Chain A
Amino acid sequence: MKAKSKNLLICASITAFIIAVGVFIYTLKTSKALSYLSSDPKVCINCHVMNPSYATWQKSSHARVASCVDCHLPRDNHFKKYLSKAKDGWNHSIAFTFNTYGQSIKISDDGAKRVQANCVSCHSKLTETLRENRQKYLGSKHSDFSPERKCWDCHQEVPHGKVRSLTATPNNLGVR
């Protein structure tokens, strides 16, 4: 390469890098990215698209016993927890930027698996007999029931209610 264009390239790339770092800090600030390190439910409603889930949870049976991360993130393993957080964060950012979600947000398969595992994790004594029998008679490897039936296939109201969409809680979102 010629010396002049080599210098230009070095200059431009370093400038671009510095700008990228600046934009990165700005992104961190705007997206409140650092807040996601905590487990406070209020963090999940940084984006008001989550307000119906927050409101329905707040009025549900699980309001005082389980926060968002208690159900939606793995509880058994710190590394798995933060990995899931990162995965979810990435997916949310894509969905947000490219507007790929509709009026009724559905949980991903991976997310559903995690929630199911957490149902069993808290209610292990309650589901003990169910799980033992399942292993005995169906020979299943998965003691947490997935991938077949989920707990909420019957316990439909827990905890976000049967009817939930972006307009189901208008006082929470501002829609009249």
Chain B
Amino acid sequence: MNKYRFLLVGSLVAIIAMLALTNSINQRLAEKKIINTNPVVKEKGVESKNEEWAKYYPRQYSSWKKTRENDKIEDLLKKNPQLAVLWAGYGFSKDYNAPRGHANALQSNQNTLRTGAPIDKNTGPMPMACWTCKSPDVPRLFDEIGELEYYTGKWAKRGSEIVNPLGCADCHDSKTSELKLTRPYLKRALQDIGVKLENITHQEMRSLVCAQCHSEYYFKKTAWVDKDGTKKIAKVVTFPWAKGLRAEDMLKYYDDMNFKDWTHKISKAPMLKAQHPGYEIFQTGIHAKRGVSCADCHMPYKQEGAVKFSDHFVRSPMENMANSCMNCHRQEETELRSIVKRKYERKEELMQIVMDNLAKAHLEAGKAWELGATEADMKEILQDIRHSQWKWDYAIASHGSFFHAPEETLRLLAVANETAQNARLKLVRVLAKYGAMNYIAPDFSTKEKAQALAGVPLKKLIEAKKKFKATLLKEWTKQAVEKGLLNMESRKGMSDNASYNTD
């Protein structure tokens, strides 16, 4: 009988032990399922309020919020006064500051003199497309009203609906939190260059979400008809990638369609503006060729206690070399820093030469027109100026290009200078033809002098802007709060700097 007693007791003990084990296993399997499910920030639609994401991603939110600290205004028209002459007749001659942190992007857009001082929905110099890279309310509007409707109308049309600063929903899906391309025009541009969207890897996404905005673009006039049958015109953000990503490829793209961003006020040249082709020029550099993505350097992993996450404090890696560069590079930090500094100095040297020559070319062309030069006299010269300024702008408009692709940057500056000099050589002959043998372009060594030459009524612009900020902008904020699109709490502690007043 003992053996049966033993069997009973043994079996009971075994059952209890095994049930204890399987119970703990099942508990942990349930836990694994829960914590491996991405939190749903918003089931349907786009969550454009950044503070709503903070509930689930506090560390990423806090590090993103730190980009507020990068709020100082560096007036680049003061630093490089030639710029006002180079962009005479275009918004950038009015106001141009160094880029600030992402959390300040919307404010920069509202504060810059380039967006002017609208007094109602239908006034102001800029179109709706201007908002596109400044706020997660933009993908929200894409989702709610569609692209074409969004791109129709003046910038002031939806000022009360675009109120949250660049943030979470610009790069992440509101339901699954995954990296997502929220700007359809980038998808179209990728298809233009033969990329299959389904084959994009995670590492490529870590660069492409940045390429949504850090790329060259233009606004393509597109006629369309809405569902009520009304004919409308939309200015659609488009990337000029169809002929290739290099400066010369894009130039061909624009030349082939006789496109110009504006006619230069002084030289009458048909001009192009290169807006920060950061992604495109980065592709030509060694870091891109080694498979490094934007996020690898600009959003390196950060450790807080025992938790490791991507640092969303997007800024120059030079301010965070230990976590950004030294992960891969084994040299001393000081040595690397001095190498980078030298690259910057080389870029500055060539850049100043090109800007001086280009500015003088514009002014000399202006004088030639004044003296009676004809279209035939000036045609080639103006093309040279257009091409030279495009290459210069492409080379340096993305401020990190001297590091991302130093060889390409210096090459473009050199060929830009060659073309500018050629223009000036031709201008010597034209000026001589019309009697001006010793014309020296006027002094443009300060912002005031340069803006005077460019015909920029700075005081008037500032006054009008201040009035706009005190009236219509405040209205927009009020309406946005009423509509539930904006939490005033989220703006607490923000400074309000501009080139015409600093906090």
Q: Give chain A's interface residues, CB within 8 Å of chain B.
A: 1, 6, 9-10, 12-14, 16-17, 19-20, 23-24, 26-27, 30-31, 47-49, 93, 96-97, 99, 103, 163, 165-171, 173-176
Contacts and interface: CB of A to CB of B under 8 A. Distances in A.
Contact of A97 (B21, B39, B59, B309): B21
Contacts of B32: 48, 174
A4 to B, nearest CB: 13
Given A27-B21, A170-B307, A9 B14 contact: no
B15 A19 contact: yes
Contacts of B25: 30-31, 96
Nearest to A25: B18
A176 B459 CA distance: 50
A44 to B, nearest CB: 14
Q: What 8 pairs across the A-B complex have the smallest Cβ distances?
A: A174-B35, A16-B11, A13-B8, A20-B11, A13-B7, A167-B306, A174-B36, A13-B4
| Most chain A CB neighbours (cut-off 10 Å) among B15, B37, B57 | B15
Interface residues of B, number: 36
Contacts of B59: 176
Contacts, number: 95
A19 B1 contact: no
Interface in B1-52: 1, 4-5, 7-8, 10-12, 14-15, 18-22, 24-26, 28, 32, 34-37, 39
Given A97-B24, A174-B35, A23 B1 contact: no
B18 A27 contact: yes
B58 interface: yes
Contact of A16 (B12, B24, B305, B308): B12
Nearest to A1: B1
B15 A168 contact: no
Given A24-B14, A174-B36, A9 B22 contact: no
Interface in B367-387: none
From DSSP, what is the main secondary structure of chain B's interface residues? helix
B307 A9 contact: no
A169 B301 CA distance: 11
Interface of B: 1, 4-5, 7-8, 10-12, 14-15, 18-22, 24-26, 28, 32, 34-37, 39, 56-60, 303, 305-309
A30 B22 contact: yes
B22 A103 contact: no
5 contacts: A13-B4, A16-B12, A23-B22, A48-B32, A93-B21
Contact of B21 (A20, A31, A175): A31
Contacts of B1: 1, 6, 9
Given A167-B307, A170-B309, A26 B22 contact: yes
B35 to A, nearest CB: 3
A73 to B, nearest CB: 22
Q: Which of A6, A14, A20, A30 has the most CB of B within 10 A?
A: A20
Pick from A23, A24, A99, A163 the residue with the most CB of B within 10 Å: A23
Contacts of B305: 167
A27 B14 CA distance: 11
Which has the most chain B C-beta neighbours within 10 Å: A30, A48, A176? A176
A175 B35 contact: yes
A16 B8 contact: yes
